[in-house]
Amino acid sequence: MFFKLLKWLKEISLFTTSYSNNVFPEPLSKEEEDLCIARASNGDKEARNKLIEHNLRLVAHIVKKFEHKNVDQDDLISIGTIGLIKGVDSYSNKHSTKITTYCARCIENEILMYFRSNNKNNKNISINESVGFDKEGNEITILDILKLPSPDFIEEIHTKDNVSLLKEYIKCLNHREKEILIKRYGLNNNDEETQKEIMKGDNPLEFPGLKFTMSTDDSKALNESQEPCIIISASGMCEVGRIKHHLKHNLWNPNSTILFVGYQAPGTLGYSIVHGAKKVKIFGEEIAVNARIEYIEGYSGHADQEGLMNFIYSFIEKPKHIFLIHGEEESQEVLEQKIITDTKLPVTIPDFGDTYEINKDNIKLIKTLDKKLPINIRTEVVKRLEKLKEELKDMETSVQDDVNNHELHDQDIFRINEKMKELEHQILNVIEG
């Protein structure tokens, strides 16, 4: 041990000469560094010394962290250099960390060991105290295992304060200026992080394994695949589009998972599935719901109450009247009261079929439907007609595919034709009264 210490002291005097002259060798390039590591691991002393010499800047950088300590900086440089030598000697290219990261830990550990040896009677504990090492040989300190609200929680608090101030003073800007600031800084629940990632070239819709299906046939072919896969499909509340084909081929399968990430309106296929329907009809066929059904709230293309209120606040010249025409009845009523309370603006929630005359001076209801039937029943009829229209369209496509592929027998075609005649007759009876 004594001779090893003498060896280190000799090397320190050699490597710290450049520091005393305030000259530090430039860091090695990645290619040079990799070559020196490989040579040093095979016993090349020159390569080993080169790695030490060209990382002295690292020692000086770490020593700056301890400027508050009442210790001579040259002494710390010497102690840190011992840590650097130990790090270079013990480093192996088998480590997953870079040599600079590994040596930085060794340097800091050596300096901390020096402080501990000189403060044995000091009861104060530093958060930089070592408590052990990880599986890669890196030192673990108290700071590493402290549970904090967030690594940058002070910065987050500062940011929130600034955002609050920004929301307060943003009212003096015009509409376009507000829009730019809102999108740039992720206000009103806009995703600032995604914008930054895209600007860096990290498109969230470009990753290995992702494949876009451009045609309907390519989309349908996914259901014939025997390999596990994740199908991302726009839902339209499962009322129209390719999603219905995917549901038809996967809802019955207990090994499948259907994940909903958007709002499903009452009366839609998506709503029925989310709310526990055991069986649903798709393309006129009854499908058992055996798949695992999951639902994540909060993902929606619609603004929430806060977003809508901020939209109203953003107007320099406030609107004279506000109509609420979308959303569930209860939510509309809550928003209506908030708008009236906070902005003093008049609000109208029109009924289905209402017609208004709007001019510069006033707004007048000029026509309304007969209210003998509850409005929800009228809305339900319209929804059912729209749904029936889409179902017939989807059925036409499905039957046409089967006919073209010769998958239907003559008796099946005859049976479908008779059923269609019957349905046509029933619809005409309803229309003609």
Q: For 87-126, what is each residue's pLDDT tens digit?
A: 888 887 666 678 888 888 888 888 888 877 776 545 556 6
CB count in 10 Å sphere of residue 48: 18
Instruction: Write down the residue that tokens 């600007």 correspond to.
Output: 199
Q: Three-state secondary structure along 135-149?
A: CCCCEEEHHHHCCCC
% the chain with pLDDT above 90: 9
**What is the rounded distance in angstroms from the CA atom of residue 340 to the CA atom of residue 86?**
71
Alpha carbon 174 to chain centroid, angstroms:
30
Confidence band for 374, pLDDT divided at 50, 70 and 90: low
Please give the Cα distance from 135 to 212 (Å, whole number): 42
Pairing of strands 322-323, 292-295: unpaired
Q: Do domains 2-145 and 216-295 have the same CATH topology?
A: no
Return mean pLDDT, the chain: 75
Q: Which of 240, 253, 232, 222 is nearest to 283 (CA)?
A: 240
Residues of the chain with pLDDT > 70: what percent?
A: 65
Distance of CA 275 to the CA centre of its chain: 26
Helix (H, G, I), strand (E, B) or coil at 367: strand
Q: In the predicted model, is pLDDT for residue 290 greater than 70?
A: yes
Question: Whole-model pTM above 0.75?
Answer: no
What pLDDT is attached to residue 164? 72
Of 94, 95, 92, 10, nearest to 51 by C-alpha is 92
The most distant pair of C-alpha atoms in the chain lies apart, rounded to whole Å, by 110
Written as six digits, the tokens of 212 are: 């876009």
Domain ranges of the chain: 2-145, 161-199, 216-295, 305-367, 378-432
Once rounded to an integer, what is the mean pLDDT over residues 292-319? 81
Contact between 169 and 156 under an 8 Å Cβ cutoff? The reply is no
- β-strand partners of 133: 139
Q: The tokens 């700056």 sit on which residue?
A: 64
Interatomic CA distance for residues 243 and 213, integer angstroms: 13
Could you tell me where the beta strands, DSSP code E, fall in 193-269?
Answer: 257-260
CATH top-level class of 216-295: alpha beta
- Inter-residue contact 234 to 213 (CB < 8 Å): no
| Domain 2-145 belongs in CATH node 3.30.110.30 | no
Q: Under a CB-based contact definition with an 8 Å cutoff, are residues 265 and 271 in contact? A: yes
| Per-residue pLDDT at 180 | 63
Please tell me the predicted confidence (pLDDT) of residue 340.
92
Neighbours of 84 (CB within 10 A): 25
Task: Of 49, 130, 39, 140, give the one whose Cα is nearest residue 88.
Answer: 49
Alpha-carbon Rg for the chain in angstroms: 35
